[in-house]
C-alpha cells in the first residue's frame, strides 16, 4: 500500500484544523485601541500553544512517514485515530481560551493532548510492525523516552487541573517546548533508507 495518500490526507486535515482554529480568533468589536486586545490575550496565548502543538505533530508525522517504506490498513486506522484527537484541538483551544483557567477546560485540554500523544505512539508502533523491528524507522524511534515522558507529564498536568490549573498550563507548555525542535531521531535516518518521493 502506497503511503502518498496517507500523507496527503493527513496534511489536508491538519491544514483544515489550523484554519478552523484561527477562525475562532475574533477582533474586539467597536474598538480600534490596542488596549481592547488585552481581554483577548488568554485566547491568543492558547491559540499560539495549540498552533505550536499542531506544528509539532505535523512536522514529526512527516519525518516518521518519510522514514517508513510501507503502510497497511492498520496504519491507516491508527493515523485516523491520531487525526481524530487532533481534530478536537480547536474545540478545547477555544474553551480553554475563554475559560479563565477553569478546571473543566484545563483538564479537557490535557485529555486531548494525552490522547493525541498515545495515538501518535500507537501509529509509530503500527508503522514499526509493518516496516520491521530492524527497520531504520524502528532503530530511529528506539524506546521513545521523550514520547513516554510527554504522556506522563500530561497525566500529571491533568491531575493538577483539579487543584492548581495554572500549573497544568505550564506543564503543557513545557512539553511543547520539549518537542519544538523536530524529532532528531527521525531526521537522521540515512537518506539511502528513505523511499523515493
When the pLDDT of each residue in the chain is averaged and rounded to a whole number, the result is 90
- Indicate if the pLDDT at residue 184 is higher than 70: no
Answer whether residue 72 shows pLDDT above 50.
yes
φ, ψ dihedrals at 74, nearest 5°: -65, -40
pLDDT digits (tens, 9 = 90+) for 134-166: 998 898 888 888 999 999 999 999 999 999 999
Q: Is the pLDDT of residue 88 over 50?
A: yes
- Is the pLDDT reported for residue 195 higher than 70? no
> Using CB atoms within 10 A of its CB, is residue 114 exposed (0-12), middle (13-18) or buried (19+)?
buried
pLDDT at 113 over 90: yes
Is residue 191 pLDDT above 90, yes or no?
no
Could you give the CA distance from residue 86 to residue 18 in angstroms, rounded to a whole number? 10
Evaluate if residue 102 carries a pLDDT over 90. yes
Q: Give the residue-averaged pLDDT of 158-181.
A: 95
Query: pLDDT grade, residue 122 (50/70/90)?
Result: very high
Amino acid at each position: 500500500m502506497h503511503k502518498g495518500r496517507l500523507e496527503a490526507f493527513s496534511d489536508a486535515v491538519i491544514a483544515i484544523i489550523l484554519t478552523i482554529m484561527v477562525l475562532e480568533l475574533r477582533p474586539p468589536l467597536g474598538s480600534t485601541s490596542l488596549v481592547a486586545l488585552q481581554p483577548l490575550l488568554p485566547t491568543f496565548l492558547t491559540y499560539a500553544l495549540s498552533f505550536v502543538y499542531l506544528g509539532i505533530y505535523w512536522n514529526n508525522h512527516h519525518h516518521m512517514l518519510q522514514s517508513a517504506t510501507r503502510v497497511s490498513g492498520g496504519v491507516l486506522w491508527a493515523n485516523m485515530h491520531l487525526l481524530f484527537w487532533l481534530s478536537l484541538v480547536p474545540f478545547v483551544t477555544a474553551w480553554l481560551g475563554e475559560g479563565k483557567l477553569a478546571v473543566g477546560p484545563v483538564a479537557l485540554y490535557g485529555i486531548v493532548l494525552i490522547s493525541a500523544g498515545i495515538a501518535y505512539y500507537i501509529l509509530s508502533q503500527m508503522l514499526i510492525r509493518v516496516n520491521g523491528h530492524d527497520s531504520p524507522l524502528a532503530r530511529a524511534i528506539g524506546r521513545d523516552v521523550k514520547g513516554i515522558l510527554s504522556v506522563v507529564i500530561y497525566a500529571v498536568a491533568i491531575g493538577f487541573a483539579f487543584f492548581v490549573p495554572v500549573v497544568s498550563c505550564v506543564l503543557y507548555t513545557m512539553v511543547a517546548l520539549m518537542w519544538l525542535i523536530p524529532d532528531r531521531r527521525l531526521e537522521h535516518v540515512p537518506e539511502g533508507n528513505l523511499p523515493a518521493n
